[in-house]
Structure 1
Amino acid sequence: MLHAPKQKRSRKTLERILSAARHLMAEHGVDAVGVTEIVAAAESSVGSFYARFDGKEDLVRALHERLWDEALGRWEGGLGGWDATLPAHDRVVRLVGLLQETVRPDQHLRGALARVLNEEGSAAQADFEARIERDSVTLMEDEAEIRHPEPSTAVPMGVRIALAALREHGALNGEPSDPGRLPPSTVRDEISIALRGYWGIGRLVQIGPDPSDTAVEYFDIWG
């Protein structure tokens, strides 16, 4: 477990250790980095490390929690620019874009830490996902435009689907230099199209810049 420091100097040491671990594990992998390398990069000592953590696993758990807390902070920051006056089909794109901006930083490291912990998720991740789902219901609340018969169920479910798609895309889509890698804007637009169909928003899906050439009517499953 993490032994929370009380003194300012001790808190600074903790931050240096977490920062060093974050950098080294992102660059070399979680398993390849040991306590000795971390404390050397943090300009600290093994004794200082064990005064704050029972072992490396506790550090990994604390770092995993920290990354999810930061993701929640990005989400909250993005809500400040939310335009509730946009039509529902535009809000879907904005919502998916905000989800993407929220989870993309440190995505690979969060996944690597979770695999080492051999856990489905952490308390911070659960808090993050619950908050995202609650906020999304409010952001997309517009029964006049959402034709799904149960919007209060469909919106959080759609957000889970979007998060899973973003997670899998990040995990499976290779390095940024890979020629087959989809650009972030394409990923956002494709997920948005899927959510519009699920939520029953609009009848035309614009896939390109010219609606007259690229708008495609999809089957209205909700009638």
Structure 2
Amino acid sequence: MPAITAHARAPKQGRSRQSFERILEGTIDLLRERSYDQITLAEICERSGVSTGSLYGRVAGKDELLRAVQVLVLERMTGQFDAEAARIAAEARGLAQVVPAVVASLGNILKDNASVLRSFMLRSATDEAIEAAGRKGANDNHAKFIALIKACGQEIRHPQPDRAINSGMMLIYATQARFLGLDSIGGLSEAGKWNQLLEDLSDMMLAFLVFTPPKR
């Protein structure tokens, strides 16, 4: 994953670094409220308590700023995935426990970050840097959960376990992302059904992994 300095000029002094950190945090706060396209640089500076000149001293404009913010958000999400993977490895035993834990952890990490991720996903259609960083971050983090399921390989009866796990995880992620509205403005219109969705996805994944498909 690229460093923030791949998209922003590195501050040379402590005060400048603190100002840029406030800009990044202020942008994240605003992204929790509405889409990046609806946010102006003036609002970001006002929220951050930083002058417009200080912002332009670090980035050329909104596109660069969003890329730098994405780096910070993905770094924090990596920490969340690491912590959850370690917790599941320590607490869960067997497919019956690991799969629901993985489904819930993946979904809740996405849910916690949904309002911010939505802007990245919408912008990824036209910004190659945003798209590439988001894809790499998702692949790297999902691999940690996939490894937990693969460790229960002796219980999997599907003749192609790797394919079954990867396909199942892809469908779980796509379903959770759609439910949370990560590919559109809004989302969480059926927030009360979230836990039910997690249960259903867990049941479907478990059934798929222990399913022996007919020979074709």
Same fold, TM-score > 0.5, yes or no: yes
Taking structure 1 as reference, are residues 161 and 149 closer, same or farther at Cα in structure 2, changes over 3 Å only? same
1:100 aligns with one of 99, 107, 117: 107
CA offsets per residue over residues 98-156 of structure 1, 9 Å max, x none?
A: 11122211213212233235347534323322223432342112232111112223223
| 1:58 has 2:64 as partner | yes
Q: 1:122 aligns to what?
A: 131
Alignment of 1:21-32 (within 5 A): 21-32=27-38
> Which moved further from structure 2: 117-126 or 6-15?
117-126
What's the secondary structure of 2:32's corresponding residue?
Answer: helix
> Which moved further from structure 2: 44-53 or 83-92?
83-92
> Please, what TM-score do these two structures have when normalized by structure 1?
0.79
Shift of 1:45: 0.9
Shift of 1:222: 6.2
What's the secondary structure of 2:155's corresponding residue?
Answer: coil
Shift of 1:173: 11
1:150 aligns with one of 152, 160, 166: 160
Shift of 1:76: 0.6
2-structure distance, mates of 1:19, 1:8: 16
Shift of 1:15: 1.0
Q: Indicate conservation of the 8 Å contact 2:35/2:118, yes or no.
A: no
2-structure distance, mates of 1:51, 1:22: 19
1:221 aligns with one of 209, 213, 216: 213
Q: 2:4 aligns to what?
A: none
RMSD in angstroms over aligned alpha carbons? 2.6
2-structure distance, mates of 1:170, 1:65: 21
Aligned length: 203
> Which moved further from structure 2: 79-88 or 68-77?
79-88
Q: 1:132 aligns to what?
A: 141
What's the secondary structure of 2:93's corresponding residue?
Answer: coil
| 1:195 has 2:205 as partner | yes
Q: Indicate conservation of the 8 Å contact 1:173/1:181, yes or no.
A: no
Gaps of 5+ in 2: 1-6
Taking structure 1 as reference, are residues 136 and 106 closer, same or farther at Cα in structure 2, changes over 3 Å only? closer
Taking structure 1 as reference, are residues 44 and 132 closer, same or farther at Cα in structure 2, changes over 3 Å only? closer
Q: Which one scores higher on RCO, CA 8 angstroms, separation ≥ 6?
A: 2
Shift of 1:21: 1.5
1:169 aligns with one of 150, 155, 179: 179
CA offsets per residue over residues 44-76 of structure 1, 9 Å max, x none?
A: 111110111110111112222322222111111
Gaps of 5+ in 1: 202-219
| Aligned residues with identical type, % of pairs | 22
If you compute each CA radius of gyration, which structure gives the higher value, 1 or 2? 1
> What amino acid does structure 1 have at the position aligned with 2:165?
V
More helix by share: 2
> Which moved further from structure 2: 101-110 or 166-175?
166-175
> Please, what TM-score do these two structures have when normalized by structure 2?
0.81
1:47 aligns with one of 49, 53, 56: 53
> Which moved further from structure 2: 21-30 or 116-125?
116-125
Taking structure 1 as reference, are residues 62 and 195 closer, same or farther at Cα in structure 2, changes over 3 Å only? same
> Once superposed, which parts of structure 1, at least 4 consecutive aligned residues long, lie more than 4 Å away?
172-176
> Which moved further from structure 2: 12-21 or 131-140?
131-140
Q: Indicate conservation of the 8 Å contact 2:85/2:145, yes or no.
A: no
